[in-house]
Structure 1
Amino acid sequence: MMAKRTATRRTLLSALVGAGAATLVGCDPDRSRVAAVPPDPLLVDLADGLGLLRGAERQVIPHAVATADGRSVYASAPEGADTAFWRIETATGVASARVRLPGRWVPQTVSADGTWVALTTEAVSVTAVSPAGRDVTPVLIADAGGVRQRLRLPGNVVPEAFTHDHGGLFVLEWLPPQAPDRYRVRVVDLVTGVAGPLQTRLKQAIPAGAEEEMRGDGRQAVLAPDRRVLYTLYTHQPDHRHTRDRISGRPGRDVHAFVHTLHLYERWAYCVDLPHPFGEGPADGHVMAIAPDGSRLHVADLTSGTVAEISTDELTVRRTAAVPVASGPAYATADDDRLFLGGAGVVRTVDAAGLRVVAERPVDAPVTGLLLGPESGRLYVGGRDALRWLDPASGAELGRAAVPGLVGLRGPVPSS
């Protein structure tokens, strides 16, 4: 069945490429027949927290982090001077027993296998503005059974990800700690509580003073489908020098954006530089999407109208192509054959083989998110307080629903 569906998509894409880009208008069904309830359960971002949509049910979880596969959500809530902490199974909404954590904590990141959570005393993010100044950062490691470890890390750090074996915690260390304006990626040994540098891609130790320090904007993080590698897009990096340039003594190149590649198994990092004009426009005009097999990563800058394809095996930019520009924040999602790009008032389909726009569909509101439903059967488009879903092949609108407070889309909820 899957092979037949893929062949059908490729046949359609070939036909569209041969005919040129098509504008998909006038194909909406009669609004009286459009479904009003999302047919797939979804995780979404709401103004007041993480949202779980299942049919007509809408559950809001103010302080929460989802597992990589979307099967579970870890949540917290104040309970007196302490914190209640529990896990929710997204397919059913069933919650575990609540455990009590000493002090006030909010979930920050969850391990790739979905079992351990790093919590901080305040909400922070590796893709947001710099945190408030501090000299010590409390971090709590917990699972559904309660506290596993309590840390007081020197400096101003933000937890980013766990190593695959739970032996380490990758963090962004902000410098200087009381007035942060730059950051570097380090790994905290969860046995000793000591932070140290990562390895190079060649699995060599980084000499003292050679760790790269980054400025600018962390735009978006994407985990590889096999959960072994975390890709983070950084833009606006003035006078940046990578670790490999510091070690070799090279001055580095005039690069304003790159994809930071963090290997969660082997504890090394490597930056894939993006060519001009990436990084010169607004950070929110940049977006990434990874293919389901993890072999290629697409990065788009819709402000300049440029898309790049990165080989995740070679960690190089294979090619770039021009796409129509779009204003406002950019969003993307991908399947085996197609890359979908959303900007202000438009959703475009890019043929992944040729990196050519083959279809576009105007939408009547700014896009706030894109995601594909199970088996690419529906393309969900987030809007202002509303969600719509399209046929990915024809662009026809299949349904829409009001979702008050909707600000972003996370992903589909797997079946139990």
Structure 2
Amino acid sequence: MMAGETISRRTVLTALAGTGVAALIGCDPIRRTRTGTAATVPDPLLVQVDGGLGVLRGGERLTIPRAVATADGRAVYATAPDGAGTAFWRVDLATGHASTRVTLPGRWLPQAVSADGTQVALASNAETATGGRPDGRDVTPVLIADVTGVRHRFELRGNFVPEAFTEDLAGLFVLEWLPARAPDRYRVRVVDLATRAPGPLSTRAKTPVPPGAEEEMRGDGRQAVLAPNRTTLYTLYTHQPDHRHTRDLVSGRPGNVHAFVHTLNLVERWAYCVDLPHPFGEASASGHAVAISPDGNRLHVVDVTSGSVAEISTEELTVRRTAVLARGTGAGHATAGHDRLFVAAGTTVRVVDVEALRDVAGWSVREPVTGLALSPDGNRLYLGQTDAVSWHDPATGAELGRAEVPGLVVVHGLAGRA
């Protein structure tokens, strides 16, 4: 999830040899069906459907309940009830190879995958770092697993949601919701998997955050994208009334930020927030989207309601420039190519020249867009539509094909790339 760049999930293709059959694991069907039309999808896609995670490959659709995908969309980790335990396995979406299922003790749902795609953090609920406020609780069970089974199992005193792993797999970044029983705000912490103790992050200067200076956020975690080199996680937050960053708390400066990009370094364990100027964060969170360039040097944030676009330098961690595009209505979606940024809202798709940071083309489609993905060669732009995926010429907007996908919720991105 992740969007323009974030995905996850696991291994079933070889287990489903017959078209249209359903494989039952515990009580959960993992379904492999044909799409509703003769059209075949040129590139494998990872999507969300009513029944769970979906993989579109050619004319086939695979639906996997209770699953999470790796950030690059190459694999999926799946879970299913298995007696008193939970079956857990990995599916390679490029080869279709499925790992041997292992049984985890108790009931678990996958929450976060390590950047290298080898380990998964699971919890007993379906909450995610960008999924809104969790229910109140005093204790949070967490399990870390790989294809061989359990690596760590522990309980955190408080209300926590796993977010990401440190690059060395020795730590787990989590959101701690406060107060635990009636949460209304949260802060990012890191759990040392050796000691099982949560603690503060470091500042960008690599010094520990002083006591009382950890940022507490009350807004919406809209979307997260992982850098192409897998070392940094960027999360867009909106609606932060009277928010003060760690740097403001340390210096005593006032703070009142409505939107920012939380930058989490997975290697050095520091966090830094890039503030977004007005009017970002003033309108609905759903109208905001973020996309990272293929080389990882530029991060673009768009607010379709106001038409605002901001370019962030990922090296300097500053807003390099802003511009105003045509306004839109509805949910915002974005994906980036080498020289173009594609932005969608409602039934309109716009093409932005990233050097000039201005609209250069645009077109309308049949139904409101639910997700964007650009093919590896840049020749096809995929759009989520109502119960369908369509693909278009990125230069002209001409529809090149369309496949029915009943129950489609959103297009996450490409899947199964070798």
- Could you tell me the TM-score, scaled by structure 2's length? 0.90
TM-superposed CA distance for 1:92, in Å, is: 3.1
2:67 matches 1:50: no
Instruction: Name the aligned partner's letter for residue 228 of structure 1.
Output: T
Deviation digits for residues 331-371 of structure 1, max 9, x if unmatched? Answer: 00001100000110111000000111010010110100001
Within the candidate set 278, 282, 285, 1:283 is matched to 285
Give the stretch that moved more between structures: 84-93 or 194-203.
84-93
Q: Is the 8 A contact 2:38 2:59 kept in 1?
A: no
- Residue number in structure 1 paired with 2:138: 135
**Counterpart selection for 2:272 from 257, 270, 273:** 270
Q: Which residue of 1 aligns with 2:40?
A: 37
**Aligned residue for 2:147?**
144
TM-score, normalised by the number of residues in structure 1: 0.91
Structure 1 counterpart SS, 2:241:
coil
Question: In structure 1, what is the Cα distance between the partners aligned to 2:337 and 2:370?
Answer: 19
AA partner of residue 337 (structure 1): D
Question: Partner residue of 1:82?
Answer: 85
Question: For the Cα contact (< 8 Å) 2:343–2:349, is it kept in 1?
Answer: yes
* Equivalent pairs, count: 382
Partners of 2:366 and 2:103 lie apart in 1 by: 46
Please give the per-residue CA displacement for 1:139-193, whole angstroms capped at 9, x wherever unaligned. 0000001111101011000000000001100000000000000000000000000
Q: Which residue of 2 aligns with 1:241?
A: 244
Question: Residue 183 of structure 1: SS of its match in structure 2?
Answer: strand
> Which SS does the other structure have where 1:246 is aligned?
helix
**1:122 and 2:125 correspond:** yes
Q: Is the 8 A contact 1:35 1:400 kept in 2?
A: no
Q: Which residue of 2 aligns with 1:211?
A: 214
Give the Cα separation in 1 of the matches to 2:117 and 2:377.
Answer: 23
- Describe the shift of the 1:272–1:415 C-alpha distance in structure 2 as closer, same or farther (beyond 3 A): closer
Detail structure 1 runs of 4+ shifted over 4 Å in the superposition: none
What's 2:322 paired with?
320
3-state DSSP of counterpart to 1:336: coil
DSSP 3-state at the match of 2:42? coil
Q: Which amino acid aligns with 2:229?
A: D
Counterpart contact for 2:75–2:416, Cα < 8 Å = no
Contact 2:340 2:353 in 1 (8 A): yes
Contact 1:255–1:276 (CA under 8 A) maintained in structure 2: no
Asked if 1:106 is matched to 2:109, the reply is yes
Where do 1:23-34 residues align within 5 Å?
A: none
Q: State percent identity of aligned pairs.
A: 68
* Alignment of 1:154 onto 2:157: yes
CA contact (8 A) 1:35 1:398 kept: no
Residue segments in structure 2 that go unaligned for 5+ positions in a row: 1-36
Structure with greater proportional helix content: 1
Match of 1:382 in 2: 384
Show CA shifts across 1:210-251 (max 9, x none).
101000100000000000000000000001000000001111
C-alpha contact 1:300 1:308 (8 A) present in aligned 2:
yes
Supply the distance in 1 between the matched residues of 2:240 and 2:396 (Cα, whole angstroms): 40
- Counterpart of 1:221, as a letter, is A
Query: Aligned partners of 1:277 and 1:327: how far apart in 2?
Result: 15
Q: Say which of 202, 224, 229 aligns to 2:227.
A: 224
What is the distance in 1 between the residues matched to 2:250 and 2:194?
Answer: 29
Give the Cα separation in 2 of the matches to 1:179 and 1:376: 47
Q: What is the deviation of 1:97?
A: 1.1
- 1:192 partnered with 2:201: no
Root mean square deviation of aligned Cα? 1.0
What secondary structure is seen at the aligned counterpart in 1 of 2:267?
Answer: coil
8 Å CA contact 1:106, 1:121 repeated in 2:
yes
Distance 1:313 1:339 in 2: 19
Tell me by how many angstroms 1:386 deviates: 0.6
1:337, 1:351 within 8 Å by CA — same for their partners in 2? yes
Q: Which of 347, 351, 358 is the matching residue for 1:349? A: 351
Aligned to 2:65: 62
Q: List runs of 5+ in structure 1 lacking aligned partners.
A: 1-33
Q: Which amino acid aligns with 1:136?
A: V
Deviation at 1:35, TM superposition (A): 7.2
Instruction: Output the amino acid matched with 2:70.
Output: T
Q: Read off the aligned partner of 1:104 and give its amino acid letter.
A: R
SS at match of 1:364: coil
326, 330, 333: which one aligns with 2:332: 330
What are the Cα deviations for residues 256-314 of structure 1, in whole angstroms up to 9, with x where unaligned?
00000000000000000000000000000000000000001000000011000000011
Q: Does 1:183 align with 2:186?
A: yes
State the shift of 1:95 in Å.
1.5
Distance 1:309 1:41 in 2: 29
Q: Given that residues 164 and 264 in structure 1 are in contact (C-alpha distance below 8 angstroms), is that contact kept between their aligned partners in structure 2?
A: yes
Deviation at 1:123, TM superposition (A): 0.5
* Corresponding letter in the other structure for 2:300: H
Alignment-derived partner of residue 307 in structure 2: 305
In 2: Cα distance, 1:255 partner to 1:114 partner: 34
SS of the residue aligned with 1:239?
Answer: strand
Read off the aligned partner of 2:249 and give its amino acid letter. Answer: R
SS in 2 for 1:366: coil
Mapped contact 1:35–1:399 kept (Cα < 8 A): no
DSSP-derived class of the 1:245 partner: helix
Quote how far apart the aligned CAs of 1:71 are: 1.3
Residue 163 of structure 1 contacts residue 267 of structure 1 at CA under 8 Å; is this kept in 2?
A: yes
Query: After superposition, what is the alpha-carbon deviation per residue over 1:51-102, rounded to whole angstroms, capped at 9, x for unaligned?
Result: 0111111110111111122111000001112100000111233321110000
